[in-house]
Structure 1
Amino acid sequence: MTPVRRVVSLVPSLTEAVAAEAPDLLVGATDWCTHPADLDLVRIGGTKNPDVAAIAALRPDLVIANEEENRAPDLAALRAAGLRVQVTEIRSLDQAFGELDQLLTAVCGLPRPGWLDEAERAWAALPRPTRHRTAVVPIWRRPWMVLGRDTFAGDLLRRLGVRHLQAEHPDRYPAIPLPELRAAAPELVVLPDEPYRFTAEDGPEAFPGIPAALLSGRHLTWYGPSLAEAPRVLAAQLAAARTY
């Protein structure tokens, strides 16, 4: 198999993960790949609408993607253009650790990164919650969409003592009317700042009387170097929940 010397990333988390170890490998990334901030790469469109011709013109040895963030037709078009595409599936913390190790070491041929060991230690050191607060976890509004079953962010919250009330919903990101979310009587509403940028002025007002925790979306949904500090950051933000 051709050694990996040129990589195009279609996933912000994976862009950061590769850049932290071997930035020279990266030749292209999406418009949403914002970390590290000083990354100077050819931009090839969004995660959902990558420019296949522009990617092919970069002559990558590897295109890295994710089964949730990237669309199957786009990945099929890249393969039809003769490109090697590595698709990750990350729906839990343990799966994230395994997929990152596989991608960086076995696929890209890099040494196992120290931040990955640090992240595993940080999450393993979390005390087991004695109880779980119930929560709704919106990720969008107009319409309101929330975390459902089988999600990476849901697994992180569970480890931090938060059980979201739609965890058994048949959809992974269901659209649920706001009155129904309120009627579920959560103890907490968790509002990340991505993909929708919830703020104190845009979200908590929809859940009067319910404490709201404003969370860093990067620490809740990204699987990369941010995982090492995510337990500390998210735990502090959850502890700061208040009624607005």
Structure 2
Amino acid sequence: MRVVSLVPSLTEAVAVSAPGVLVGVTDWCTRPTDLAGAVRIGGTKNPDVAAVTALRPDLVIANEEENRAADLDALRAAGIPVLVTEIRGLDQAFAELERVLAACGVRGRPGWLDAAEAAWADVRPHDPPRTAVVPIWRRPWMVLGRDTFAGDLLARLGVRNVYADHAERYPRIALDELNAAAPDLVVLPDEPYRFTRDDGPEAFPGAAAALVDGRHLTWYGPSLAEAPASLARALRAAHR
């Protein structure tokens, strides 16, 4: 089986579950750290379609949000099967991970997937619930909106995204409006924009700032087993 992954989360899931299957990965695939046997084929939004085709994969795994339809259509036109995932929440993530691993030839259920489901089954949301703005970029400011995987994870921890009902999934919102929403928290991940204590919290003087590991908030794979504890710690440590 020869697989090319265009999604960092799925790269990690496949690599730890079926070592040696991946022949191509993106430049953003950083987990696991040892992917020496796989060719780098560009970014998630600009993969080198010719390079992917040259690898003669039996399957390309992708995501409807992270990858462009035009690139996936080009791969299909070259005769390459493409499996496209859709992940908008935790339950969907578990189901899609099972589908991807089965397609990649994984037999049985990997232990990390059981551990991840057990970890999230034990989660008890913060009481009372808190509201949050969750920026993912600045210049311009962009935040989590409706129907997102990260928003679902936070909701399970008792944190309600202020923009969960917005018409867009990742709306651009002016900083004055973000502050006017008066959230209890500002949740700042370190990816895709690398927010730090000196880059983000100063923009929200009235709210506590929780700096979280972006991999634990946005990746769906083995990191899900440690994500609940990691995110809960960061939320408890939120400072003004």
TM-score normalised by the chain length of structure 1: 0.96
Task: Indicate how the Cα distance of structure 1 residues 173 and 37 shifts in structure 2: closer, same or farther if over 3 A, else same.
Answer: same
* Pair 1:176 & 2:153 matched: no
Deviation at 1:23, TM superposition (A): 2.1
CA distance in 1, matches of 2:186, 2:205: 10
Is the 8 Å Cα contact of residues 2 and 59 (structure 2) preserved in structure 1? yes
Amino acid at match of 2:205: P
1:24 maps to 20
For 1:65, which of 56, 62, 84 is the aligned residue?
62
Task: Identify the residue that residue 158 of structure 2 maps to in structure 1.
Answer: 161
1:156, distance to aligned residue in structure 2 (A): 0.1
**By how many angstroms is 1:181 displaced?**
0.3
State how far apart, in whole Å, the 1-side matches of 2:162 and 2:112 are. 32
1:230 paired residue number: 227
Structure 2 counterpart of 1:133: 130
2:238 matched to 1:241? yes
Count of paired positions: 238
* Partner residue in 1 for 2:32: 36
RMSD in angstroms over aligned alpha carbons?
0.8
TM-superposed CA distance for 1:130, in Å, is 3.2
Runs of 4+ in structure 1 off by over 2 angstroms are 128-131
The question of whether the paired residues in 1 share the 8 Å contact of 2:28 and 2:43 is answered with yes
CA positional deviation for 1:128 = 4.1
| Counterpart in the other structure of 1:82 | 79
Find the residue that maps to 1:24 and give its secondary structure: coil
| Structure 2 CA distance for aligned equivalents of residues 49 and 68 of structure 1 | 13
2: CA distance between counterparts of 1:127 and 1:135? Answer: 18
Pair 1:13-2:46 in alignment: no
Q: Distance in 2 between matches of 1:20 and 1:9?
A: 13
1:236 is paired with a residue whose SS is helix
CA contact (8 A) 2:216 2:223 kept: yes
The alpha-carbon deviation at position 211 of structure 1 amounts to: 0.7
Amino acid aligned to 2:27:
D
Report the more deviating stretch, 28-37 or 205-214: 205-214
Q: Could you tell me whether the CA contact under 8 Å between 2:134 and 2:144 is conserved in 1?
A: yes
Q: Give the match for residue 109 of structure 1.
A: 105
Provide the identity percentage. Answer: 74
Q: Give the Cα–Cα distance (whole angstroms) in 1 for the partners of residues 113 and 82 of structure 2.
A: 23
Q: Which runs of 5+ in 1 are unaligned?
A: none
1:29 maps to a residue whose letter is: V
Describe the shift of the 1:19–1:158 C-alpha distance in structure 2 as closer, same or farther (beyond 3 A): same
Q: 2: distance between equivalents of 1:62 and 1:180?
A: 44
TM-aligned CA deviation for residue 236 of structure 1: 0.4
Question: Residue type matched to 2:114 in 1?
Answer: D
Aligned mates of 2:126, 2:238 — CA distance in 1: 17
How far apart, CA to CA, are the structure 2 residues paired with 1:54 and 1:169? 39
Cα distance in 2, alignment partners of residues 128 and 43 from structure 1: 40
1:208 to partner: Cα distance: 1.1
**1:39 CA drift (Å):** 1.2
* 8 Å contact kept, 2:182–2:206: no
Give per-residue Cα distances to partners, 1:98-136, cap 9 Å, x unaligned: 00011112x122121110011000000112443310110
Give 1:22 shift. 1.3
Q: Show structure 2 runs of 5+ residues with no match.
A: none
